Chain A
Amino acid sequence: GAVVSQHPSWVICKSGTSVKIECRSLDFQATTMFWYRQFPKQSLMLMATSNEGSKATYEQGVEKDKFLINHASLTLSTLTVTSAHPEDSSFYICSLREGRETQYFGPGTRLLVL
C-alpha cells in the first residue's frame, strides 16, 4: 500500500502557540488526504478531508479556523493547530486513500500542549 510519513513525530509546545504538522505521500499522488485525532483509549475521529487545490471539508464540531489545513500539492498536506491549548493535546494522524476505499495511515504526531 501507499507509504505515508508525518513530521514531526512528537511536539511539545506552550499554550497559545501554533503548531504545524506535515503529512507526505512518499509514493502516491493523493488528491485526497484525511486528518484524524485520537484521544487516549478512544477511537480515531475524522477531523477533516483535505482536497488538493481546494478548501478542506471539516467534520461537524471541528473548528476550521483553529485547525488550518493546506493541501497545496499531490504529496503534501499540512495541519496547523492555531493558538493551541492543553485540550488540543492528542495524537494526530493523517491518511490517504488508494483505490476506492482503503486508507493508508501515517505514523502519527503526538502533540502535548503545556
Chain B
Amino acid sequence: DQQVKQNSPSLSVQEGRISILNCDYTNSMFDYFLWYKKYPAEGPTFLISISSIKDKNEDGRFTVFLNKSAKHLSLHIVPSQPGDSAVYFCAASARGSNYKLTFGKGTLLTVNP
C-alpha cells in the first residue's frame, strides 16, 4: 500500500526552464511534507518542506505547493540547472507517528544543457 506516490519515474527538461515534480498521497493524517534530492550512492539532501497549514513555501529557486483537498503536492524548480539532475523524493509524516517519514519512489530529473 503506497501512501506516497510519485507517478513519474523520470522527467527531462531544458536548462533554464521550469521543472515540476509531482507527488500524491493517500493518508489524510499526513500533515508535514518534505522534498529530498539524492545522487547515486549518497544520502538524501533536504531541500524544502511544507506544513499542512500552508499551501505554498518558497526557498530560492525551489517552491513547494500543497493542495490538501486533492492530496497533491508539487515541487517547482525555476530556472532549472544541470546540477539539479538527481532523483527527487517526496516524503510525508503524520502527527503522532513518532516523526516517521514515508517516502515516494522518487523521480529522476535530468536537466539538459
Contact = CB atoms under 8 A, between A and B. Distances in A.
Contact of B34 (A91, A102, A107): A102
B65 interface: no
A100 B101 CA distance: 12
A7 to B, nearest CB: 13
Interface residues of A, number: 27
Interface string A89-106: 001010101001111111
A21 to B, nearest CB: 13
B99 A43 contact: no
A32 interface: yes
Interface in B65-113: 89, 93, 98-106
A6 B44 CA distance: 13
Interface of B: 32, 34, 36, 41-46, 49, 89, 93, 98-106
